[in-house]
């Protein structure tokens, strides 16, 4: 079984009440002088076979939350993930494929609800895989921050920036250019050619907003098959 830390995130779609809030919109992007930044943006996404173990604290908009341990296993064309309690009980386990299909191996209520697995894989991919957008622009925000902007065929946009304090920043916007997810990674360390954040904070916005605070326990680049 190949567990994961982000599994709890999608449950919050069912737990958080609706609320009205001000939403951020996609900022303008000025052309960049070169494409050096676009190469840096790919350094934070591991390629090949990896296994990550994190502790995760999840919090809903109303302040309720819990702590779990999880593992994410990357195998090139698949992502295997599961949610386990600190006592070791598996609450959810599934394997996702590049063709967007998936197989659920275990789902304890409420993790068996419709939409949970789909919400989970969106968060997992946002943290561990570069955007699938085919149109890529390297540019700068109004404050001079370098950005790689990925635009998908359906109009969704992902901005990836790097900086000294937050070694990884990802912002995802809906097709109507409203911010739906932000990711901040801090204290990156290099394993091979990949920069791995020691801490990641993922936030979603809107009616079912939630926050995931993930602390790295270990990251292993696998030579050969995953166990």
How many degrees, rounded to 5, is the angle at CA 109 between CA 107 and CA 110? 110
Q: Please give the chain's pLDDT, 227 residues, in tens.
A: 444 444 444 433 333 333 345 778 999 988 865 554 455 677 778 888 999 999 989 888 888 878 888 889 998 788 999 889 989 999 889 999 888 788 999 999 877 888 778 887 888 888 888 776 667 788 888 888 888 888 988 899 999 886 666 788 899 999 999 999 999 999 988 887 788 999 999 999 988 888 999 999 999 988 765 44
Give the domains, in start order, of the chain with CATH numbers. Answer: 9-221 (2.50.20)
Q: Is residue 144 helix, strand or coil? A: coil
Predicted TM-score (pTM) of the model is 0.80
């Amino acid at each position: 079984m190949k567990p994961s830390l982000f599994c709890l995130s999608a449950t919050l779609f069912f737990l958080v009440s609706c609320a009205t809030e001000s939403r951020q919109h996609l900022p303008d992007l000025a052309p960049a002088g070169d494409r050096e930044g676009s190469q840096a943006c790919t350094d934070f996404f591991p390629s090949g076979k990896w296994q990550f173990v994190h502790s995760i604290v999840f919090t809903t908009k109303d302040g309720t939350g819990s702590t779990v341990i999880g593992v994410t296993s990357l195998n090139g064309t698949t992502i295997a993930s599961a949610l386990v309690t600190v006592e070791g009980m598996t609450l959810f386990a599934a394997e996702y494929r590049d063709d967007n299909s998936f197989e659920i191996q275990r789902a304890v209520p409420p993790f068996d609800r419709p939409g949970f697995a789909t919400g989970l894989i969106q968060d997992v991919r946002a943290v561990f895989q570069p955007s699938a957008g085919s149109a890529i622009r390297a540019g700068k925000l109004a404050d001079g921050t370098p950005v790689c902007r990925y635009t998908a065929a359906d109009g969704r946009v992902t901005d990836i920036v790097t900086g000294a304090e937050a070694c990884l920043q990802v912002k995802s916007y809906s097709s109507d250019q409203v911010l739906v997810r932000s990711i901040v990674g801090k204290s990156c360390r290099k394993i091979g050619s990949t920069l791995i954040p020691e801490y990641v904070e993922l936030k979603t916005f809107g009616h079912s907003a939630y926050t995931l605070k993930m602390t790295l326990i270990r990251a292993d680049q696998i030579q050969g098959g995953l166990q």
